[in-house]
Amino acid sequence: MTHNILITGGSGYLGGSLLSLLSSANLPPYSRLYALVRTDAQAEAVRQYAAEPLTLTLSDPSSISAAIIAKKISVIFHLFDARDTTSTVPFIEALSHVKKQTGQDVHFLFTTGAKLFSEHAGAPTDRAIADTDPEWYEIQKQQEKDAPHEVLQPGVVANNLVIDTAEAHGVRSYIFAPCIVYGRGLGFGNVISIQTVAVVRAAKALRRVYKVDAGKPTWPVCHIEDNTSLYIEILRAILEGRDIGHGKEGYYLASPGSVAWDDIYATIGKAMKKRGAVDDESVGEADVEILQKMGEALGCPKELVGVMVGGLCTFEAKRGKEIGWKPKYKPEHILDAAEEEVDLILENLKE
């Protein structure tokens, strides 16, 4: 029996890019592709990608259950909100009902973020830890209590809730972690990312790029095409019926490697100076007063500025490569692409 697939978050940067590349991905056959929409305009847009628009209320478990069961959806890629603990349980429970009806394996992929595997969320950073490391489930359980920033705890809880709920209901779960994703979004909605946008937004407001950490911390990076191709390779494996890592062994980081924040700051500073968006291309060191101003520009307390535009993450990607994922761009490409990225962000930045 072939699968019916649902993609959520199709108007976003990641979800829109996934929808746009699915039709050219040469995937094994599946029955229907649905995309969750909230407006008529979104419904019209997803049809361009050969997806059928589906409307349901994410805050209403009965709405979710009715739609998933009626459409016999057996694969859900949830790209909506990394802190979502409201809709994930009813999605998984509905998949379990579909499994009982059809007898086929059912799958739930949840999009989290590398931030939840970093020092900001209490993950170990004294060594590199691959996404294949069997300790991650227990580490994340501990992080629920130890996350130094309370704002990140719900994301860790969300990851664990997906794994635990899926295991209890016989659903295969996958925790997909994007990192610093860059490049023009490929979909119909948002075309810019998050972290690079935050660096540019703060620099534009203060007329200079500032570093927020001592030392030279690094963070995994990934071009949007490579991030999208990992989603597609996971889906390919599911459609082929391969038994790939899932559940407590189903963490997937999309990244070819890491880059130092200092190098990202420096290339963005140069590109912004060339465009007259900052007064000084050199990277300054943020003190308390600067952090306060950066927080105002980013709409967050000064204590969270480092969470937005810095920090150490030693998460490494191995599992994707084991299933056939081959990133096209090396990590250093983010530095080579800084001018393009700055142009893209300045064109699309909403004040």
Inter-helix orientation angle 153-169/136-146, to 10°: 140
Q: Compute the distance between CA of residue 334 and CA of residue 253 in angstroms, rounded to an integer.
A: 17
- Say yes or no to pLDDT of 226 above 80: yes
The whole-number average pLDDT for the span 202-209 is: 99
pLDDT tens-place string over residues 175-186 = 999 999 999 999
Confidence of residue 225 (pLDDT cuts 50, 70, 90): very high
- Say yes or no to pLDDT of 350 above 90: no
Q: Compute the distance between CA of residue 212 and CA of residue 223 in angstroms, rounded to an integer.
A: 24
Confidence of residue 44 (pLDDT cuts 50, 70, 90): very high
Q: Please, where are the H alpha helices in the chain?
A: 13-22, 40-47, 61-70, 88-102, 136-146, 153-169, 195-206, 224-239, 261-274, 288-298, 305-309, 319-322, 333-336, 338-348
- Say yes or no to pLDDT of 5 above 80: yes
- Say yes or no to pLDDT of 299 above 90: yes
- Say yes or no to pLDDT of 333 above 80: yes
Q: 325 CB contacts (<8 Å, ≥6 apart)?
A: 229, 230, 233, 254
The whole-number average pLDDT for the span 105-132 is: 98
Single-letter amino acid, residue 59 = S
Q: pLDDT higher for 146 or 306?
A: 306
- Say yes or no to pLDDT of 191 above 90: yes
- Say yes or no to pLDDT of 332 above 80: yes
Give the pLDDT confidence score for residue 271 in this predicted structure.
Answer: 99
- Say yes or no to pLDDT of 4 above 80: yes
Give the pLDDT confidence score for residue 351 in this predicted structure.
Answer: 66
> Which residue has tokens 């994930």?
88
Domains and CATH numbers, the chain: 4-189+221-255+314-328 (3.40.50.720), 194-218+259-312+340-348 (no CATH)
Q: 146 CB contacts (<8 Å, ≥6 apart)?
A: 122
Give the pLDDT confidence score for residue 1 in this predicted structure.
Answer: 82
Average pLDDT over all residues of the chain: 98
- Say yes or no to pLDDT of 301 above 80: yes
Q: Compute the distance between CA of residue 21 and CA of residue 33 in angstroms, rounded to an integer.
A: 13
Q: Compute the distance between CA of residue 296 and CA of residue 114 in angstroms, rounded to an integer.
A: 24
Q: 279 CB contacts (<8 Å, ≥6 apart)?
A: 207, 208, 273
The whole-number average pLDDT for the span 245-260 is: 99
The whole-number average pLDDT for the span 130-156 is: 97
The whole-number average pLDDT for the span 158-167 is: 99
The whole-number average pLDDT for the span 233-242 is: 99
Give the pLDDT confidence score for residue 315 in this predicted structure.
Answer: 99
Per the structure block, which two tokens stand in for 151?
A: 């704002």
Single-letter amino acid, residue 97 = H
